[in-house]
């Protein structure tokens, strides 16, 4: 049912008329559906940003601050990177809950 071409190519129509095989109504970006599904499942669909101990931390997974330590909730065994203060890149081999040294 996606629009096959034109300015709405790839979008999903709100209405699909079977008789005439026409797409109509507002168009839905399929990425919005993926983002909604991820959020409903408790997953992040973008970057997480937090400030802790006067440092700015950006990670591809949710960040929790425990005490004064940032903890990234990632998938065990996954290798990823975090950005500290916009200039320092740290590579992490995930243990599932990863304490990030923000010093």
Could you report the per-residue pLDDT of 67-79, keeping only the tens digit for each?
889 999 998 999 9
The structural domains of the chain, with segments of one domain joined by +, span: 1-43, 48-99
- Specify burial of residue 48 (Cβ count, 10 A radius: 0-12, 13-18, 19+): middle
Sign, Cα dihedral of 91, 97, 102, 103? negative
- At residue 34, φ and ψ (nearest 5 deg) are -65, -45
pLDDT in tens, 16-34: 899 998 898 888 888 888 8
Q: Is the pLDDT of residue 42 over 80?
A: no
Q: Is the pLDDT of residue 61 over 80?
A: yes
Q: What integer pLDDT is reported at residue 29 of this predicted model?
A: 86
Residue 59, CA atoms < 13 Å, CB-side half-sphere? 28
Residue 94, CA atoms < 13 Å, CB-side half-sphere? 18
Is there a contact between 23 and 9 (Cβ–Cβ < 8 Å)? no
Q: What integer pLDDT is reported at residue 57 of this predicted model?
A: 94
Is there a contact between 63 and 72 (Cβ–Cβ < 8 Å)? yes
* Residue 2 pLDDT grade (very low, low, confident, very high; cuts 50, 70, 90): confident
* Residue 99 pLDDT grade (very low, low, confident, very high; cuts 50, 70, 90): very high
């Amino acid at each position: 049912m996606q629009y096959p071409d034109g300015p709405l190519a790839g979008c999903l129509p709100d209405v699909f008329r079977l008789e005439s095989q026409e797409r109509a109504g507002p168009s839905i970006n399929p990425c919005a559906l993926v983002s909604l599904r991820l959020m409903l499942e408790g997953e992040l669909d973008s970057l997480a940003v937090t400030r802790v101990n006067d440092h700015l931390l950006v990670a591809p997974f949710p960040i929790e601050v425990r005490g004064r330590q940032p903890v990234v909730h990632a998938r065990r065994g996954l290798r990823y990177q975090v950005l500290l203060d916009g200039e320092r890149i740290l590579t992490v081999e995930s243990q599932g809950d990863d304490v990030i040294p923000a010093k």
